[in-house]
Structure 1
Amino acid sequence: MTPATVWAVVLVASVLCFALKLAGHLLPEHWLADERVSRTAALVTAALLAALVAVQTVATGQTLVVDARLPALAVAALALALRAPFLVVVVLAAATAAGLRLLGWG
């Protein structure tokens, strides 16, 4: 792929992102106030976040890998279930991953 092609793709993607944002501002408010729309938006947001977490936890490139990230995610989920503050969740997950890596796993 040539540098010119890469820049063309970046510019087209930028214009599309801007157009999507602009469309969100131009839609009539009563369309967005519908209960189905707000429920769907909330579910899509949660699904995208869950997919991102799953991919970042068990994938390296195009291969599936089980390493220190998976137990760290489990510790973070447990801390969230116990309603720990977000900073504590992050520190516990990082400490878990670091400790497992120190022990040679991952």
Structure 2
Amino acid sequence: MTWTAVLALAAGTYLLRLGGILLRDRVTMPERLDRLVDLGATALLVGLVATAALTESGGFAGWARPAGVLVGGLAAWRKVPFVLVVILAAGTTAGLRFVGVE
């Protein structure tokens, strides 16, 4: 990729973010559209988590990683402190891999 393309993409990203800040109070969205935007952000986050948790190198990541993500998600849902959420998720994954579950 050339430097011109990189700089153009960087400038475009910056302008889009700046536009959101500058137009926040000037543009109003209908309530239904606002709800759909919220749902779209949630769907995007779920898709990213699912991809990261379930795949590795284009294939299935094994059962240990999704189990760790599930334990971490349950701990976060129960409002456990974030450091403990990370320790529980990593510990679950490591423990399962230690006993031979890939």
Per the TM superposition, whether the score is higher than 0.5 is yes
Checking the alignment, whether the CA contact within 8 Å between 1:76 and 1:93 is kept in structure 2 is: yes
* Aligned amino acid, residue 95 of structure 1: G
May I ask how many residue pairs the two structures share in their alignment?
A: 102
Q: 1:46 aligns with which of 33, 39, 42?
A: 42
Q: 1:45 to 1:28 in 2, by over 3 A?
A: closer
Give the unaligned 5+ runs of structure 1: none
Percent of aligned positions that are identical: 35
Kindly report the root-mean-square deviation, in angstroms, between the aligned alpha carbons of the 2 structures: 2.3
Give the unaligned 5+ runs of structure 2: none
Q: 1:28 to 1:54 in 2, by over 3 A?
A: closer
Tell whether 2:55 aligns with 1:62: no
Q: 1:30 to 1:15 in 2, by over 3 A?
A: closer
What's the TM-score, normalizing by structure 1?
A: 0.75
* Counterparts of 1:90 and 1:31, CA distance in 2: 39
What's the TM-score, normalizing by structure 2?
A: 0.77
